[in-house]
Copies of this chain bind each other. A is one copy, B any other.
Amino acid sequence: MAGLTAPLLGLQKKSLREQALSALRTAITSGELEPGRHLVETELSEMLQISRGTLREALRQLEQEGLVSAGPRGRLSVRHLDEKEIRDIYAVRAALESLAARTLCELPDRQHVTESLHKAIDAMTAATSGSLEDRIESDLEFHRTLCRLTGNETLLHSWESLEGSIRMSIMFAGLEKGVSNMSVDRHNDIVAAIDTGDASLARKTILEHMDAAAANLVA
Interface residues of A (CB under 8 A from B): 15, 53, 56-57, 60-61, 64, 66, 74, 85, 88-89, 91-92, 94-96, 98-99, 103, 152-155, 157-158, 161-162, 165
Contacts and interface: CB of A to CB of B under 8 A. Distances in A.
A99 B103 contact: no
Given A66-B157, A165-B154, A92 B85 contact: no
A88 B99 CA distance: 11
A98 B165 CA distance: 21
Contacts of A95: 95-96, 98-99
29 contacts: A15-B74, A53-B53, A53-B56, A57-B57, A57-B60, A60-B60, A61-B61, A64-B64, A64-B161, A66-B154, A85-B154, A88-B154, A88-B155, A89-B154, A91-B99, A91-B103, A91-B152, A91-B154, A91-B155, A92-B155, A92-B158, A95-B95, A95-B96, A154-B162, A154-B165, A158-B158, A158-B161, A158-B162, A161-B161
Given A60-B61, A85-B153, A92-B155, 8 more contacts: A53-B56, A61-B64, A66-B157, A88-B152, A88-B153, A92-B154, A154-B162, A158-B158
A74 to B, nearest CB: 7
Contacts of A153: 85, 88
Contacts of A99: 91-92, 94-95
A189 B161 CA distance: 32
A15 B56 CA distance: 14
Nearest to A63: B61
A119 B28 CA distance: 41
A89 to B, nearest CB: 5
